[in-house]
Amino acid sequence: MVVANDTLYSKAVMVTEEYLGPAGERFIRRHITTHLKIEPEALDKNSLRSLINWLSITFALLTNDAKNVASFTRDLKLLTVNGK
């Protein structure tokens, strides 16, 4: 799936792909549609704030690397502050 580069969703996908590779887009898309019940492209800062705990918990189930989980969580939280 091609995602516009300037949306918060596309930025969240880029962060997630840094940690999960190409599976990152599918990972975050499923969380958004399942937990927030919105279209991924409608993701805003408040929605992302609500989603971060779900993403972090699920990511922690995929890895035993606590530093990696903390970095992933931090990078997502930075998007809610400045969107960069």
C-alpha distance from residue 3 to each of 13, 38, 45, 69, 71 (Å) = 9, 16, 17, 24, 23
Residue 3 has pLDDT above 60, yes or no: no
Average pLDDT over residues 17-46: 96
Asked whether 24 and 18 are in contact (CB, 8 A), the reply is: yes
State pTM to two decimals. 0.86
Indicate the domain borders of the chain.
8-82
Q: What is the pLDDT of residues 41-73, one digit of tens each?
A: 999 999 999 999 999 999 999 999 999 999 999
> How are the residues of the chain apportioned to helix, strand and coil, as percentages rounded to the nearest 5?
75, 0, 25
Q: Between residues 82 and 27, which one has the greater pLDDT?
A: 27
Q: Between residues 3 and 18, which one has the greater pLDDT?
A: 18
